[in-house]
Amino acid sequence: GSGSGSGSGALPLLMSTDVGTGLPLTGSSSTVHTIKSGVAYSDGDGLIPLVSLGLMCSNQFGWADPDPSVDPSVDRTKATEGTEGTEGGGARPWRNPLNPSSSKVVRKEYEHVPRSALEQARAGDIRGGPRAADHVDIMGNHEVISDLLHLAAGRSGNIEARTFSDIDNIAQRIAQAHREA
């Protein structure tokens, strides 16, 4: 099948052709994106939209998708079909196919706090500064560098999850739309 729900376990592709208003935020009259001169603008890092950056780390999809034995509210009947009769005589435990070794996923968002134009001129540097979090400048963000060093040193426990965006609500709406499709 082409992902049209033919029993393959694949989710059907959902596409919106509405270029007028975008998706309304839950409980808000604002929208996830706006259209200006034919270009869709949304939350994100200035280049990549939030959905592309954060959906795979939500608890609805991707790498952080919870094990249904731990979270009974998650329906995994389609994901576990065909597991009977595996080696050992019984059904194998559910594994997230995108994270088969169950690596810990920590989603941490960084707030974009760029240097002012005056600070950039004084520093002789056009980059965003030690607290910038847009697409490329995030590599110079001191907190990101600190987190990467903790990760490399095997101290990932020092990295705490943090979310500023509405990605969890967006992920829930996308999951609901797929269930209804």
Query: pLDDT (tens digit, 9 = 90+) per residue, 112-124?
Result: 999 988 888 888 8
Residue with tokens 């509210």: 73
Reported as a single tens digit per residue, the pLDDT across 79-128 is 444 444 445 555 667 778 888 888 888 999 999 999 988 888 888 877 88
DSSP states of 53-110 as a string?
HHGGGSTTSGGGPPPTTT-TTS--TTTTTT-TT-TTSSPPPP--TTSTT------B--
**Across 34-50, average pLDDT:** 76
Instruction: With 0.95 as the threshold, say if the pTM is over it.
Output: no
- Give the pLDDT of residue 26: 42
Dist. CA 63–CA 56, nearest whole Å: 6
End-to-end, the C-alpha distance of the chain in Å comes to: 15
Which of 8-17, 48-57, 67-76 is predicted with the least confidence, judged by mean pLDDT?
8-17
Query: Collapsing DSSP states into helix, strand and coil, what is residue 118?
Result: helix
129: its two tokens: 């500064």
